[in-house]
């Protein structure tokens, strides 16, 4: 039973607590109420109760490596500091052979997954993206390829003239095993217009994941919060993910991504507060009753807040990463990767049990 820290819980909060305990779904109204409540500890305790029911004290991580074949992109999304134009200083497009060479120089023992995202480079053919995966799969067949966002897949359909299903089948032949969760931002076409999200719209994002799930792939999904969206926008985003999960059961994890400022030197008032980050993780756990894991992404919220998040509903701390670039291009002040030992320390420091996993949450080793 949850022990509430705040005395005198109001009727609405008490009603939500009872709904969660009875296994009833929270509504749009419930989610907005939780965001507008200042009772962070009760919300966090309730999310912790749900997570313990789903996952016990286990917290998952993976030894993975982030790879970026190109930063050239046709889109000019307002929040992105990673993209470049073709020929712009700092722009690059690596061949499969160049990436293989990079991996051999930087890979650490035990890596099980390549996390691959990048720009929407219209100056290369779709075959370039297929061959990129082939090169990695041929040289590192034991490592799982988790590659491309739904927005990248939609871009590939325009680049190739193929359908979403045909694009995914070609990539699967090249070694693709799972999609990354990026490109969701906020699932609101009004938001996407205001933020100049010049890539897949809401329906396209959801359809790519639906199609991937129909082809037998398990995927990841995200929400980028902390700019112009309302609390209702965030909850509507979660509800659309929840509805698709009801339909397909293909999402393994939901990842709330805290927006990073464009300037690395931006002060604390330019970043989401720790209060907002913890509340978003907790509410995600409460709203998304049909997704097994909520991830606390240390790249965006920091190592110590990630530890706290493990008692606010999170059951995953991502992975070693090796060298993250997209959030750091936008101003993230966190480490660009952690070692296995550091991840184990992070989880144990929160009084939880670290579990090394593979891409699909199969347990590799439990560190009691």
Annotated binding-site members for [4Fe-4S] cluster: 73, 77, 80
The closest of 256, 252, 212 to 235, measured between CA atoms, is 256
DSSP, residue by residue, 201-230: -HHHHHHHHHHHHHTT--EEEEEEESSS--
Please give the full DSSP string across 253-278, using - where no structure is assigned: EEEEEEPPPSSTT--GGGS--HHHHH
Site of tokens 């606010």: 312
Check: CB of residue 233 under 8 Å from CB of residue 186.
yes
Q: What is the DSSP letter of 10?
A: -
Alpha carbon distances (Å) from 133 to 4, 141, 148, 273, 328:
50, 11, 10, 38, 24
User: What residues form DSSP beta bridges with 225?
Assistant: 258
Is 163 in contact with 215 (CB distance < 8 Å)?
A: no
Cross-strand bridge partners of residue 176: 145
Binding residues: 73, 77, 79-80, 185
The H or E element spanning position 115 is: strand 113-116
The two three-digit tokens of residue 361, written as one number? 């949450």
| Strand arrangement of the beta sheet that strand 113-116 belongs to | 64-67, 113-116, 144-147, 176-178
Q: Which residues contribute to the annotated binding site for S-adenosyl-L-methionine?
A: 79, 185
Q: If 0-12 CB within 10 Å is exposed, 13-18 middle and 19+ buried, where does residue 81 land?
A: middle
| Ordered alpha helix ranges (H), the chain | 11-21, 28-36, 40-55, 96-106, 126-139, 150-160, 164-174, 189-194, 202-214, 231-248, 274-287, 298-301, 303-309, 326-329, 340-348
b/e 151-188 (16+ beta carbons within 10 angstroms → b):
bbbbbbbebbeeebeebbebbbebbbbbbbbbbbbbbb
Q: Which residues of 33-45 are buried (b: 16+ CB within 10 A; e: fewer)?
A: bbbebebbebbbb
């Amino acid at each position: 039973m949850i022990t509430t820290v705040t005395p005198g819980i109001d009727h609405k909060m008490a009603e939500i607590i009872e709904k969660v305990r009875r296994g009833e779904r929270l509504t749009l109204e419930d989610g907005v109420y939780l965001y507008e409540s200042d009772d962070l500890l009760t919300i966090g305790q309730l999310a912790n109760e749900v997570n313990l029911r789903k996952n016990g004290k286990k917290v998952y991580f993976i030894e993975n490596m982030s790879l970026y074949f190109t930063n050239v992109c046709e889109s000019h999304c307002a929040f992105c500091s990673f993209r470049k134009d073709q020929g712009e200083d700092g722009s690059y497009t690596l061949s499969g052979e160049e990436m293989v060479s990079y991996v051999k120089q930087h890979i650490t023992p035990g890596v099980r997954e390549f996390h691959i995202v990048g720009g929407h480079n219209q100056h290369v053919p779709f075959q370039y993206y297929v061959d990129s995966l082939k090169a990695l799969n041929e040289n590192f067949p034991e490592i799982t390829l988790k590659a491309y966002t739904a927005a990248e897949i939609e871009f590939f359909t325009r680049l190739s003239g193929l359908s979403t299903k045909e694009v995914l089948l070609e990539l699967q032949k090249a070694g693709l095993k799972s999609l990354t969760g990026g490109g969701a931002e906020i699932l609101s076409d009004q938001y996407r217009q205001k933020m100049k999200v010049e890539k897949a719209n809401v329906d396209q994002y959801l359809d790519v994941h639906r199609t991937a799930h129909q082809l037998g792939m398990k995927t990841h999904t995200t929400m980028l919060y902390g700019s112009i969206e309302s609390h209702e926008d965030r909850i509507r985003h979660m509800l659309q993910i929840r509805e698709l999960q009801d339909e397909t059961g293909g999402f393994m994890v939901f990842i709330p991504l805290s927006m990073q400022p464009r300037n690395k030197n931006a002060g604390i008032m330019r970043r989401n507060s720790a209060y907002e980050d913890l509340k978003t993780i907790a509410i995600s756990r409460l709203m998304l009753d049909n997704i097994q894991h909520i991830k606390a992404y240390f790249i965006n919220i920091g190592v110590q807040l990630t530890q706290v998040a493990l008692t606010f509903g999170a059951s995953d701390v991502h992975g070693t990463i090796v060298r993250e670039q997209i959030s750091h291009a936008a101003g993230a002040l966190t480490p660009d990767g952690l070692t296995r030992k550091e991840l184990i320390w992070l989880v144990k420091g929160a009084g939880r049990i670290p579990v090394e996993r593979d891409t699909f949450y199969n347990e590799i080793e439990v560190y009691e």
